Amino acid sequence: MLLMTMAPTGDKRKREDDTENGDSGDAKSSAGTQHPLSGFRLQTVLRESARDKTIFLHGQVTGDGQDAEDAVVILERAPFHVDTISPLLANSPELKLQLKNDIYSVYQLTPPPELNEVKTTIIRPATDKHIKKYLRQEIYLVQETGEDYKNITLPFIESQSFSIQWVYNILEKKAEADRIVYENPDPEHGFILIPDFKWNQKQVEDLYLIAICNPRGIKSLRDLTADHLPLLKNILHEGQEAILKRYSIPGNQLRIYLHYQPSYYHLHVHFTALGHDAPGITVERAHLLCDVIQNLEMDSRYYAGRTLTYALRADEALLKQFKEAGKC
């Protein structure tokens, strides 16, 4: 996955070397030296949100005589920066009146290129799974018992080819080593804290970091037992301390949680600013780390047997498995 920050005016800036796979440099694809969207042809608008100023596109990329590759492109308006607001409002000549009524007036303001950036995420080559992930779908709640997990969900996970090599690249310092905010190198109880690719790191109000645990084989919340309490407590306390030191945000202004189902099956913990309306913080997906720790202190196998409720999109294969088993 590549991340770029682009100005719609066409200036040829270098992309942020803030990629999920750790690739860096200017706007080049991992396969060669061409622009990552060379010859892009739009196929479908997968989803769009006027509220979030985001659009999800499916298209094909061609260039240098290569076969066309499917790509998912996510365009997101960059947030405002407080230090640019006053000069923008006071000095902008591009302020055109659209409506005035008594004390109320509406203007169209055209900011300069450097303040008119569009964060651009590119997934290439994109598989059918990637395309379906971003396609607007009806969603359904699933209530997964411990037995359902063993009989339906776990066999499904094990039958799929979910690649998490990019996670191992981070843990092994093969990628994104320069982005590490904090590290506890202990192989059993340690972790790496790194900015999530959704955060542009330009304002702490949208802070979003991920703690990736060092031990492998812990797929999700379901695998956690009391044996993992030292790891979870290290992530909670050391993560808070690292964020306070680096970003001056105290622990009581952080939302620290795990997803179930997770987006990838290697245990990781999300750290977001409490005031940030981050994706995936809804009650049917987010589990606060402090609650997880307390539950495991009361019952070592709490998450192995508890019924967990989560949402699945209509086209997800796991939902089909539950339907075929008569569970939803």
Structural domain spans, the chain: 2-78+117-123, 82-115, 137-324
Regions in the chain scoring below 70 on pLDDT: 1-34, 63-65, 91-93
Cross-strand partners of 47:
56
* Token pair listed for 139: 């969603």
Report whether CATH 3.30.428.10 matches the domain 137-324.
yes
> Could you tell me where the beta strands, DSSP code E, fall in the chain?
2-6, 41-49, 54-61, 69-77, 95-101, 104-109, 118-123, 139-144, 182-184, 191-195, 208-213, 254-259, 268-273, 286-288, 308-313
Task: Note the pLDDT of residue 23.
Answer: 35
Task: Note the pLDDT of residue 38.
Answer: 78
Q: Residue 175's Cα: distance from chain center in Å?
A: 17
Distances from the Cα of 48 to the Cα of 52, 57, 123, 132, angstroms: 9, 9, 17, 14
Task: Note the pLDDT of residue 136.
Answer: 77
Task: Note the pLDDT of residue 107.
Answer: 84
User: What residues act catalytically?
Assistant: 268
Residue 304 phi/psi, 5-degree rounding, is -75, -30
CB neighbour list of residue 16: distance below 8 Å, 6 or more residues apart: 3, 4, 5, 200
* Token pair listed for 274: 């409490």
Rounded Cα distance, 161 and 164, in Å: 9
CB-CB contact of 171 with 191 (8 Å): no
CB-CB contact of 19 with 138 (8 Å): no
Of 130, 271, 135, the C-alpha closest to 204 is 271
Task: Note the pLDDT of residue 65.
Answer: 65
Task: Note the pLDDT of residue 233.
Answer: 98
Rounded Cα distance, 296 and 293, in Å: 5
Q: How many residues does the chain have?
A: 328
Task: Note the pLDDT of residue 17.
Answer: 32
